[in-house]
Chain A
Amino acid sequence: MSASDQKGFTLLEILIAIVLLAFITFGVVSITENAVNTKDRTTETNQNNLQIETAMSRFEWDFSQIYSPLYFSTIMNFQNANNLGNQGGDNSGQQSGADSGVNSGQQSGQQSGAQQGAQGGAVSPYLQQYYEQLVTRFERNEHFSSVSKEGMPIPRFYAPEKNIFEFFTTSNRRKVENQKQSHFSWVRYQLANQEQTKEEEENPAIPKSLKSLVRYTSSDDPYNDKRIDPEDIERVKGAVLLRNVESLEFQYWNFQRRKWETALRNIPQGENIVRGIKVMITWYDSTGNKRSSARIFRTHWPMVSPVDQATTTIQSGAQAGVQAGDNSGAQAGLNGGFVQ
């Protein structure tokens, strides 16, 4: 077998081979391209869904932990607290019964001579001073409207427009150890101007006037008396939750009328207690689809409205006053002292 015996491919064979190869290559390339497109599309869809789900889980996290002492307590009764200072004004048990429960409880306890009653009804001078200070020093400001019975400031929720909501929540978690932060913080959701990316600008389906949903939080000083100022970059942190938002609306559940309200002031105690929040949001996803979502969130507090015990204490105090001297009087005195 010598080299001259060998015969190469004919031109025709090579041409056929090339054409076949071209066909196969074309097939493979189109399949691959198809695969890449599918991957891109599914990833984009999933990411768009992930984006809104993440934003909504942030809402859930913040709203479910909304805090106000009014969920478990009542507003401090200034009249009662003032009465604490006027000890010894009345001598008879019956008259003092009309007074605050603690006061009368103490007197009836003393009259009955029972050691227990006296101890239960006695108000420590420190506590008295504390109440006095709370009453005289507390000033209503933008963030806190009054003081609860225990002396905790009652936050004032704020919704001046339908797409702004500022509230007090315990959802803060400090990220740096020993940082001077608690779990309390003020959080404000609102729409802010955004700069569109190149892709967004080139997409004709996405309008130019869209905004971003931003979560502002101020956690370093939760007892700050001023509303969150989004411009105050030093104290307020902002994080974009969702881009290309066309509209955002918050609604609040009115328990008495059983309907959703856009303004907090239409709800009894609405500035201080929020039970349910409905968020309606319309946005454009990255492919330019207009999407909308309406969700309902609620706080994790039980749906009860705490009632001030003052009325019942006054009654028991009156009871004690009438029956001053016997055991039940001492008992009522004890109760009166504790409940307050």
Chain B
Amino acid sequence: MARKINIKNQSGFSLIEVMIAITLFAFFVTAYLTSQGYNVQDSQLSEEQLMLQQLAERKINEIVLDPPKFTNATQDMKETKTFEESDLKNYEYTLEMKRLTIPDFAQLFAQKDATTEEAKDSYEGDYFTEGAQGGGQRNAAVEKMIFEELRKNIEKILWQVRITITNKETKYSFTLSTFITNYNEKVQLNVGF
């Protein structure tokens, strides 16, 4: 069906079409502007994170250089303070201290518990026990003794410390933890054979 083209017959875009077009355009603009906003935000966030990390490192170094007294009172210590510097008033730090605890020998080496028949068998063929009757149990005892000595020393000397820096306004935080050595304690080994 051939139709004569007449300008007067032509109609413009309908209202719906125009609105759809505008909506699409609005979506595009919004998406674009939001991404811009995120850019700025991310940049600020990275600056904030750098700051928090820097403060955490500084605090940890301070503690390593000048450790608090290691007593039973400092065990499970948790204190929150605000930085003293005027430009750091927004930041607070939480210091947590804990003794390092090592699980029991039995817990760590459960499969080597010498009370079960199976374990005995596995010990029989173990290193330096070949042929010796009941050697497995004796070695387990020696291992346990050495382990206990080491555990006692490590628990005495090593402490865990954790620093959390928080920005009081934005609530962003950064946590850093490390071991510190109690130099007042000495290593004591009383392994008698």
Chain A 273-289 interface 0/1 with B at a Cβ cutoff of 8 Å (1 = within): 00110000000000000
B182 to chain A, nearest CB (A): 11
The stretch that binds A, out of B46-54, B74-82, B123-131, B142-150, is B46-54
User: Are A298 and B61 also in contact (CB < 8 A) when A1-B5, A46-B46 are?
Assistant: yes
Q: Is B62 an interface residue (CB 8 A)?
A: yes
Q: Kindly report which residue of chain A lies nearest to residue B66, judged by CB atoms.
A: A258
Which B2-46 residues have a C-beta within 8 angstroms of A?
A: 4-5, 7, 29, 32-33, 36, 39-40, 42-44, 46
Q: Kindly report which residue of chain A lies nearest to residue B7, judged by CB atoms.
A: A7
B60 to chain A, nearest CB (A): 9
Contact of A296 among B36, B62, B87 (CB under 8 A): B62
Q: Kindly report which residue of chain A lies nearest to residue B47, judged by CB atoms.
A: A49
B28 to chain A, nearest CB (A): 10
Q: Which residues of B contact A45 (CB under 8 A)?
A: 43-44, 47
Q: Is B96 an interface residue (CB 8 A)?
A: no
User: Interface on chain B toward A: helix, strand, loop, or mixed SS?
Assistant: helix
In contact, A304 and B183 (Cβ under 8 angstroms): yes
Q: Could you tell me the distance between the alpha carbons of A296 and B64 in the complex, rounded to whole angstroms? A: 11
Q: Is A265 an interface residue (CB 8 A)?
A: no
Q: Is B58 an interface residue (CB 8 A)?
A: yes
Q: Could you tell me the distance between the alpha carbons of A49 and B46 in the complex, rounded to whole angstroms? A: 9
Chain A 9-51 interface 0/1 with B at a Cβ cutoff of 8 Å (1 = within): 0000000000000000000000100110011011001100100
In contact, B181 and A296 (Cβ under 8 angstroms): no
User: Interface on chain A toward B: helix, strand, loop, or mixed SS?
Assistant: mixed
Q: Could you tell me the distance between the alpha carbons of A98 and B7 in the complex, rounded to whole angstroms? A: 124
Q: Kindly report which residue of chain B lies nearest to residue A52, judged by CB atoms.
A: B50
Q: Kindly report which residue of chain B lies nearest to residue A253, judged by CB atoms.
A: B65
In contact, B183 and A53 (Cβ under 8 angstroms): no
User: Are A295 and B47 also in contact (CB < 8 A) when A31-B32, A38-B40 are?
Assistant: no
User: Are A41 and B40 also in contact (CB < 8 A) when A7-B7, A292-B87, A302-B181 are?
Assistant: yes
Q: Is A339 an interface residue (CB 8 A)?
A: no
B16 to chain A, nearest CB (A): 19
Which of B29, B33, B36 has the largest count of A CB atoms less than 10 A from its CB?
B36
Q: Kindly report which residue of chain A lies nearest to residue B87, judged by CB atoms.
A: A292
B13 to chain A, nearest CB (A): 13
In contact, A296 and B50 (Cβ under 8 angstroms): no
Chain B 70-106 interface 0/1 with A at a Cβ cutoff of 8 Å (1 = within): 0000000000000001010000000000000000000
Q: Could you tell me the distance between the alpha carbons of A83 and B40 in the complex, rounded to whole angstroms? A: 72
Q: Could you tell me the distance between the alpha carbons of A81 and B32 in the complex, rounded to whole angstroms? A: 78
Q: Could you tell me the distance between the alpha carbons of A46 and B40 in the complex, rounded to whole angstroms? A: 11
Q: Is A309 an interface residue (CB 8 A)?
A: no
Q: Kindly report which residue of chain B lies nearest to residue A28, judged by CB atoms.
A: B29
User: Are A38 and B39 also in contact (CB < 8 A) when A49-B46, A276-B65 are?
Assistant: yes
Q: Size band of the B side of the interface?
A: 20 to 34
Q: Kindly report which residue of chain B lies nearest to residue A304, judged by CB atoms.
A: B183
In contact, B36 and A38 (Cβ under 8 angstroms): yes
B127 to chain A, nearest CB (A): 32
Q: Which residues of B contact A164 (CB under 8 A)?
A: none
Q: Could you tell me the distance between the alpha carbons of A53 and B39 in the complex, rounded to whole angstroms? A: 21
Q: Could you tell me the distance between the alpha carbons of A293 and B40 in the complex, rounded to whole angstroms? A: 23
Q: Is A297 an interface residue (CB 8 A)?
A: yes
Q: Is B57 an interface residue (CB 8 A)?
A: yes
Contact of B181 among A49, A56, A258, A303 (CB under 8 A): A303
Q: Could you tell me the distance between the alpha carbons of A292 and B4 in the complex, rounded to whole angstroms? A: 79
B70 to chain A, nearest CB (A): 14
Q: Could you tell me the distance between the alpha carbons of A45 and B87 in the complex, rounded to whole angstroms? A: 19
In contact, B65 and A39 (Cβ under 8 angstroms): no
Q: Which residues of A contact B5 (CB under 8 A)?
A: 1
Q: Is A192 an interface residue (CB 8 A)?
A: no
In contact, A296 and B58 (Cβ under 8 angstroms): yes
Q: Which residues of A contact B87 (CB under 8 A)?
A: 292
In contact, A39 and B39 (Cβ under 8 angstroms): yes
User: Are A42 and B40 also in contact (CB < 8 A) when A31-B29, A275-B65, A303-B183 are?
Assistant: yes
B154 to chain A, nearest CB (A): 16
Q: Could you tell me the distance between the alpha carbons of A41 and B62 in the complex, rounded to whole angstroms? A: 34
Q: Could you tell me the distance between the alpha carbons of A256 and B15 in the complex, rounded to whole angstroms? A: 84
Q: Could you tell me the distance between the alpha carbons of A39 and B40 in the complex, rounded to whole angstroms? A: 8
Q: Which residues of B contact A49 (CB under 8 A)?
A: 46-47, 50
Q: Could you tell me the distance between the alpha carbons of A46 and B44 in the complex, rounded to whole angstroms? A: 9
Q: Could you tell me the distance between the alpha carbons of A294 and B7 in the complex, rounded to whole angstroms? A: 77
Q: Kindly report which residue of chain B lies nearest to residue A275, judged by CB atoms.
A: B65
**A-B CB proximity, top 10 nearest:** A42-B43, A296-B61, A276-B65, A296-B58, A38-B36, A253-B65, A45-B43, A7-B7, A298-B61, A42-B39
CB<8 Å pairs between A and B, sample of 7: A46-B46, A49-B50, A293-B54, A295-B57, A296-B61, A303-B64, A303-B65
Knowing that A1-B5, A46-B46, A295-B54 are A-B contacts, what are 6 other residue pairs whose CB atoms are under 8 Å apart, sorted by A's residue number? A7-B7, A42-B40, A294-B85, A295-B58, A296-B62, A303-B65
